[in-house]
DNA sequence: TCTGGGGTCCTAGGACCC
DNA sequence: TCTGGGGTCCTAGGACCC
């Protein structure tokens, strides 16, 4: 039996999932018309692998996640175009798109840089409403989107998947109607259901579950046996039973990590120390932006499995007397850990700083012997304000430099068209 | 030369306690 | 003769997501 509303007569809702098509690549196209109708890929940090592809690049057979060094030659030879990722641009475009969603929906949950859940329950004709919204987003920002509609978030996600894959939907798919829903879910592989990855779909296949409709037809109890509570929730939501609401206000951060591959391998302690101290300062900025404090810091670094030579992977932790978001304290601790863990004779390729178990600074355990210096808070606020005004690298603690030979590769980054005054486009008469 | 970065949630199992 | 059992807390690791 298929339940179509939440129990006890609760009002059934209409959720939408709207996302930008090939979002990063679409952002690049908005400001560079020479990319229109051409194959374009956008690369991950460090120009490592492909993270976004225009339909033309997909048609050339470039797989998602393809290592750039592997496809580079043949891709460029075939006329493909490429950009390093430009997060300043994508983040700003995302903000603009969400500002439009806000005008069309009662509530918006920003789920990721290119996806938002919308509550369209009060819209008289949700599908029409979604089509109008889609047109407005395209006209005002230049970003093409697809929208999926359904009574639960899992169904809205599934509908969005169908809207993207099936041109006949023209960018909007509605799974509100139970009969139509079962027909369409039967055409969808179970691995394409939100929350079902490689491991779970293998487990499901062993139980004869191959399509999204098969999964929706399971008894929630058997789903729980096969997939634990997550699976039970997915099945209920596929059946139209509302289990998860929108998270309109972002929940407090639990962890923060800053990790980077090096532009080239690092073999000296001086460089390693500088790298992790720089990561720690960035982590401190994130902590303060989210209003959190870290009780401890973890530093790690390792060599690459993809390289010959001796391998080494280490990590160490230092606990603070009082949870902190002070960049100077974080950086000093990171430096100590880097030294403590150091062993020469290796080509290290990646290092990172992780802060977990974050708390609110006001909950930081008060310690009679370790009273935080109030001037440190002032200093951090001043530093953040200066960097906000004059750019991220304007002011940094000693021992942290942004002239890093070990830093990122991003040789093909487009200008920060919308967020950096020196790089805004100039219209010619 | 060369394979991203940053999150969340859940579970199993060990430590510890009474 | 005979050597408990149940609860809680924490952590590591797996799985998933974009």
* DSSP assignment of A273-292: HHHHHHHHHHHHHHHHHHT-
The answer to whether strand C lies under 7 Å from the CB of residue A65 is: no
Contact assessment for residue A229 and residue A242, using Cβ atoms and an 8 Å cutoff: no
Whole-Å CA distances, A353 to A275, A289, A399, A404: 10, 17, 16, 17
Taking C1' of B3 and every protein CA, the nearest residue is A67
Q: How confident is the model at residue A46 (pLDDT cuts 50, 70, 90)?
A: confident
Contact assessment for residue A127 and residue A172, using Cβ atoms and an 8 Å cutoff: yes
What is the mean pLDDT of the segment spanning A152-174?
Answer: 97
Contact assessment for residue A256 and residue A358, using Cβ atoms and an 8 Å cutoff: yes
Nucleotides of B under 7 A from a protein CB: 1-11
Q: Is the pLDDT of residue A70 over 80?
A: yes
The answer to whether strand C lies under 7 Å from the CB of residue A197 is: yes
The answer to whether strand C lies under 7 Å from the CB of residue A194 is: yes
Task: Write the pLDDT tens digit of every residue in A8-33.
Answer: 445 789 999 999 999 999 999 999 99
Using the structure, give the distance in angstroms from the CA atom of A342 to the C1' atom of C18, rounded to a whole number.
Answer: 34
Q: Is the pLDDT of residue A202 over 80?
A: yes
Q: Is the pLDDT of residue A1 over 50?
A: no
Contact assessment for residue A25 and residue A10, using Cβ atoms and an 8 Å cutoff: no
The answer to whether strand B lies under 7 Å from the CB of residue A49 is: yes
Cβ < 7 Å from strand C, A residues 147-186? 157
| Range from A86-95, A182-191, A300-309, A408-417 carrying the lowest mean pLDDT | A408-417
- By C1' distance from the Cα of A19, the closest nucleotide is C18
Using the structure, give the distance in angstroms from the CA atom of A59 to the C1' atom of B1, rounded to a whole number.
Answer: 29
How much of chain A, in percent, has pLDDT values that exceed 70? 93
The answer to whether strand C lies under 7 Å from the CB of residue A200 is: yes
d(CA A16, CA A149): 4
Q: A153-165 and A220-238 are packed helices; what angle lies between their axes, rounded to 10 degrees?
A: 70
> What DSSP character marks residue A99?
H
- By C1' distance from the Cα of A356, the closest nucleotide is B7
Q: Is the pLDDT of residue A86 over 50?
A: yes
Q: How confident is the model at residue A402 (pLDDT cuts 50, 70, 90)?
A: low
Using the structure, give the distance in angstroms from the CA atom of A398 to the C1' atom of C9, rounded to a whole number.
Answer: 40
Q: What pLDDT was estimated at residue A416?
A: 87
Say which residues have a Cβ less than 8 Å from residue A139's Cβ, sequence separation at least 6: none
Using the structure, give the distance in angstroms from the CA atom of A264 to the C1' atom of B1, rounded to a whole number.
Answer: 8
Q: What pLDDT was estimated at residue A7?
A: 46
d(CA A294, CA A198): 34
d(CA A277, CA A104): 44
Contact assessment for residue A96 and residue A27, using Cβ atoms and an 8 Å cutoff: no
Nucleotides of C under 7 A from a protein CB: 11, 14-18
| Range from A2-11, A203-212, A302-311 carrying the lowest mean pLDDT | A2-11
The structure's pTM equals 0.91
What is the mean pLDDT of the segment spanning A339-365?
Answer: 90
What is the mean pLDDT of the segment spanning A286-300?
Answer: 95
List beta partners, residue A147: A18, A172
Task: Write the pLDDT tens digit of every residue in A241-251.
Answer: 999 889 999 89
CA dihedral sign, ordered A173, A177, A179, A182: positive
Q: How confident is the model at residue A370 (pLDDT cuts 50, 70, 90)?
A: low
Number of H helices, E strands in chain A: 13, 12
Q: What pLDDT was estimated at residue A2?
A: 40
Q: What is the number of other CB atoms lying within 10 angstroms of the CB of residue A290?
A: 15
The answer to whether strand B lies under 7 Å from the CB of residue A46 is: yes
What is the mean pLDDT of the segment spanning A123-142?
Answer: 98
Q: Is the pLDDT of residue A268 over 70?
A: yes
- By C1' distance from the Cα of A230, the closest nucleotide is B10
- By C1' distance from the Cα of A191, the closest nucleotide is C16
Whole-Å CA distances, A381 to A80, A202, A375: 45, 50, 10
Short-list A116, A187, A119, A120, CA closest to A146: A116
What is the mean pLDDT of the segment spanning A70-97?
Answer: 95
Strand A145-150 and strand A172-174: the pairing is parallel
Contact assessment for residue A50 and residue A181, using Cβ atoms and an 8 Å cutoff: no
Judging by beta carbons within 10 Å of its beta carbon (0-12, 13-18, 19+), is residue A340 exposed, middle or buried?
exposed
Average pLDDT along chain A: 91
Contact assessment for residue A412 and residue A86, using Cβ atoms and an 8 Å cutoff: no
């Amino acid at each position: 039996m298929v339940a179509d509303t939440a129990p006890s007569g609760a009002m059934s809702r209409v959720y939408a999932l709207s996302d930008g098509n090939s979002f990063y690549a679409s952002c690049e196209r908005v400001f560079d018309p020479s990319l229109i109708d051409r194959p374009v890929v956008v690369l991950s940090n460090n120009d490592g692998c492909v993270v976004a592809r225009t339909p033309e690049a997909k048609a050339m057979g470039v797989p998602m996640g393809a290592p750039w060094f592997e496809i580079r030659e043949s891709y460029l030879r075939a006329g493909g175009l490429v950009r390093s990722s430009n997060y300043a641009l994508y983040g700003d475009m995302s903000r603009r798109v969400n500002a439009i969603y806000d005008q069309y929906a009662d509530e918006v949950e920003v789920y990721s840089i290119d996806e938002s859940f919308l509550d369209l329950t009060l819209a008289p004709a949700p599908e029409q409403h979604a089509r109008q919204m889609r047109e407005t987003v395209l006209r005002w920002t230049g970003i093409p989107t697809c929208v999926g509609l359904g009574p639960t978030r899992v169904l809205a996600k599934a509908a969005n998947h169908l809207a993207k894959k099936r041109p006949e939907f023209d960018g909007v798919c509605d799974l509100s109607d139970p009969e139509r829903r079962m027909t369409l879910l039967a055409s969808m592989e179970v691995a394409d259901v939100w929350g079902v990855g490689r491991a779970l779909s293998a487990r499901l296949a062993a139980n004869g579950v191959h399509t999204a409709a098969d999964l929706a037809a399971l008894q929630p109890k058997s789903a729980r046996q096969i997939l634990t509570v997550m699976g039970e929730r997915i099945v209920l939501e596929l059946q139209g039973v509302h289990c998860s609401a929108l998270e309109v206000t972002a929940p407090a951060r639990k962890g923060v990590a800053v990790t980077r591959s090096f532009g080239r391998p690092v073999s000296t302690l001086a460089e390693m120390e500088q790298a992790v101290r720089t990561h720690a300062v960035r982590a401190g900025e994130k902590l303060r932006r989210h209003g959190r404090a870290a009780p401890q810091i973890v530093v790690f670094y390792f060599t690459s499995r993809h390289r010959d030579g001796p391998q080494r992977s280490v990590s160490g932790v230092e606990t603070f007397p009082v949870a902190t978001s002070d960049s100077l304290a974080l950086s000093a601790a990171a430096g100590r850990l880097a030294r403590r863990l150091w062993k020469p004779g290796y080509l290290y390729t990646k290092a990172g700083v992780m802060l977990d178990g974050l708390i609110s600074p006001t909950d930081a355990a008060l310690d009679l012997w370790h009273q935080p210096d109030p001037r440190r808070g002032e200093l951090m606020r001043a530093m953040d304000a200066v960097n906000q005004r004059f750019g991220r690298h304007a002011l940094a603690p000693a021992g942290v430099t942004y002239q890093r030979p070990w830093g990122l590769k991003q040789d093909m980054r487009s200008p920060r068209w919308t967020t950096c005054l020196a790089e805004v486009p100039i219209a010619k008469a």
